[in-house]
Structure 1
Amino acid sequence: MSIISMILVVFVAFLAGLEGILDQFQFHQPLVACTLIGLVTGHLEAGVMLGGSLQMIALGWANIGAAVAPDAALASVAAAIIMVQGGDFTNKGVAVATAVAIPLAVAGLFLTMIVRTISVALVHGADAAAKKVISQA
C-alpha cells in the first residue's frame, strides 16, 4: 500500500470513528466505511463485498438507552485493512475478514463503555472547576 493510500485509510478511519458519535453522514456504517477503504486502496469490489456482509450483520445493532451496540466502525475499518493487507479478495477472504470483524466489534463495545465511564468523571471534574471559577468571579 502506498503512503497516499495509508493516509487516505487513516482519514476514512477518522471519519468512521467520528461518525459513530455524530451520526450525520453514516460513514460509520460498514457498507460505507469498507467501500471507502476499498476505493482508496484500489480494491473497490472487495470493499463493497465486505461492507455488504458486515452491514447485514450490523442491521440489528443500535444504541438504545444505556445499551451500547457493538462498534461497527472499528470492525469495518479493521476488517477492511486486514483483508487488503492479506491480499485475498475472493469470497474466502471476505469471509475471513467478516469473522475477524465480529470480535473486534465486541471489543469496540467494551472500549466505548470504558471511554464513556471515564468521561463521566472528567465532566464532573469540569463542572466542579466551573463552579469554582464562577464563585470566584
Structure 2
Amino acid sequence: MNAIQMILVVIVAFLAGMEGILDQFQFHQPLVACTLIGLVTGNLTLGVMLGGSLQMIALGWANIGAAVAPDAALASVASAIILVQGGQGQKGIGTAIGIAIPLAVAGLFLTMLVRTISVAIVHIMDKKAEEGNWRAIDLWQYIALALQGLRIAIPAALLLAIPASLVRQGLEAMPQWLNDGMTIGGGMVVAVGYAMVINMMANREVWPFFAIGFCLAAIKELTLIALGGIGLSMALMYLALEGSGKNNGGNGDNSGSGDPLGDILDDY
C-alpha cells in the first residue's frame, strides 16, 4: 500500500470507530468497513467477500443491558488490513475471519477504556453547562466522539506500520493445520451467527419462507439477483394475503386469525 492508501484506510477506520456510537451511516458494519478498505486498497472483491462473511457473524451481536457486544468495527478494519497486507487473496479470507474474532473481543477493552474517559468528559461538560459555556460543551462532545474514532484508527495505523512482507511471512509461517482449522472455525462462526439471527426471528410464519429459500439457493442457475427477486415477490404476496385476511375478518368473519399462512399451518 502506498501512503495515500494508508491515509484513506485510517480515515475509514476513524469513521468506523465513530459510527460504533453514532449508528448514522453504518461505517462500523463489517460489510461497509471491509468494502471501503477493499475499495481504497484496490481489493474491492476481497473486501466485499470478507465483509459479507463477517457481517453474518455480526448479525448475532447485540448490546443487551450492561453486556456489550464484541467490537465489530475493530474486527472488520483489522482483519481487512491483514487480508490485504498478507497478499494471499481469497485463500486468506478464512484466516482473516479466524483472526477477526479475538480482535473483536480485544476491542471490548478499548471500548471500556474510551467509555471510562467519556465519564470524566461528561463531568467536565456538566461544569461547562453550569457556566453557560455552550461552545465548550460542543467542543467536548467532539473530543469524546473523536476518541471513539481513534479507538479504531490507532490500531489500524499500527497494523499499517508493519511491513507487508512481514505480515506475509507470518501468515506463510503458520502451519497448514492451523490455517485449515482457522478456515473451518471461521465458517462455523458464520453459521453460528446466522443461527442466532434465525433463533431471534423464527416463528411459524417465517419458517416456510426459510425452507423455500434454502431449497432455491441450491439451484446453481439462480443468481443472487434472481433470489432477491423471488424473495421480494414472496414478501409482496404475503403482505397482500395478510391484508386480504384482515379485510375479511373485519366483515364479521372471525373464523381466521388474519394471517392466512398461520391459518393454513393451524389446519395442519
After superposition, the CA RMSD in angstroms is: 1.6
1:56 Cα deviation from its structure 2 partner: 0.8
The alignment partner of 2:27 has SS state of: coil
**Structure 2 counterpart of 1:108:** 107
State the one-letter code of the partner of 2:102.
Answer: P
2:80 maps to 80
Normalised by the length of structure 1, the TM-score is 0.87
Q: Deviations over 1:77-132 (max 9, x none)?
A: 01000110000112x3001111111111101112112221232233235435654x
The one-letter code of the counterpart of 1:84 is: V
- Provide the rounded CA distance (Å) in 2 between the counterparts of 1:39 and 1:53: 17
1:121 aligns with 2:116: no
Q: What is the identity, as a one-letter code, of the residue corresponding to 2:75?
A: A
The residue correspondences of 1:19-98 to structure 2 (distance < 5 A) are: 19-90=19-90, 92-98=91-97
Unaligned 5+ runs, structure 2: 133-268
Amino acid at match of 2:80: A
Could you give the per-residue CA deviations for residues 26-71 of structure 1, whole angstroms, max 9, x where no partner exists? 1110011001101111111111111011111111111233221111
What is the distance in 2 between the residues matched to 1:112 and 1:128?
25
8 Å contact 1:68–1:113 — kept in the other structure?
no
For structure 1, the 5+ residue unaligned runs are none
- Offset at 1:22? 0.6
Aligned counterpart, 2:16: 16
Question: Matches of 1:10 and 1:43 in 2, distance apart?
Answer: 16
| Letter paired with 1:5 | Q
Q: Return the letter of the residue paired with 1:28.
A: H
Letter paired with 1:116: R
Question: What letter is aligned with 1:127?
Answer: D
The residue type paired with residue 123 of structure 2 is: H
Structure 2 Cα separation of the partners of residues 82 and 49 of structure 1: 14
Post-superposition CA distance 1:1-20 (Å, at most 9, x none): 11221111111111111111
CA distance in 1 between partners of 2:5 and 2:15 (Å) = 15
The worse-fitting range, judged by mean Cα deviation, of 10-19 and 110-119 is: 110-119
Identity %: 79
- Paired with 1:6 and 1:84, the residues of 2 have a C-alpha distance of 11
Larger radius of gyration: 2
